[in-house]
Structure 1
Amino acid sequence: MSAPSLPDFDDPKLAARVEALPPAALDALPFGAIRVDAYGVVQLYSAAERRLSGSGDRPRLGLHFFSAVASCMDTPAFRGRIDKALAAGRLDLEFGWTGDFADAERGLRVRAQSAAGGGYWLFLQRED
């Protein structure tokens, strides 16, 4: 049996494709993946995101994403966009962001999509 193909960052159904992967495959993605529940608590933080961001092995699971993991993203331009889309009923956003653990000036492409069963996914692709 062959390994499942990994989804592309630009896949319109990225969240659904990621949810269909075995858990170990998330760590092989060429971009970061973070699953946050309906309360903002981190349920999954991929090894790919740890590696690509340079954030290391800090605790993530079970912590509130915006207050305990990425307080720099707790802004109207980042969290505000997500909260507004969630309030409208369906989250499917893409936007640019500047800043990373290892490099505060690094550009990121951010995709936020609703997760099955509530909550949402954050996908982060670093610009070269």
Structure 2
Amino acid sequence: MPAVVFRSFGLRAACDFLSAALGDMMRQEFRDSEREYANAYYGAFLWVLDPAAFVDPTDFKTEVDRTTDLIAALQPLPGYDKANLPGGPEYEREREYNVLGIPLGESHRNSLETIGDEVGVPIPWR
């Protein structure tokens, strides 16, 4: 098994420990065995860091861009057409949707039209 798998387990564990402890989910009433729905998690934790508190923002952006470019140039894993960082495909879809709109299925479109008509919101695609 590739070493990156074990590194990702460690990162996941560290994130879980931080979010569970700082998101107040380590109390007795939140333990899996004590909840009706063991896989439903109730807490949330958001950690926001300002890179400027640690390094020059321009240097940080330059390094992020350089690393992103290096990763994009890697040979993709089997079954993938390109190497991406987490969030890369979503970022590309967001850019596409900003130009073309978010694709909606007919059922979803009909539901939105019905609700829009009920509350008097104009439907932009009509």
- Shorter-chain TM-score tier: under 0.3
Task: State the structure with more CA Rg.
Answer: 2
- Tell me which protein shows more strand as a share of its residues: 1
Higher relative contact order (CA 8 A, sep 6+): 1
- Tell me which protein shows more helix as a share of its residues: 2
Under a length normalisation based on structure 2, what TM-score does the superposition of the two structures give? 0.23
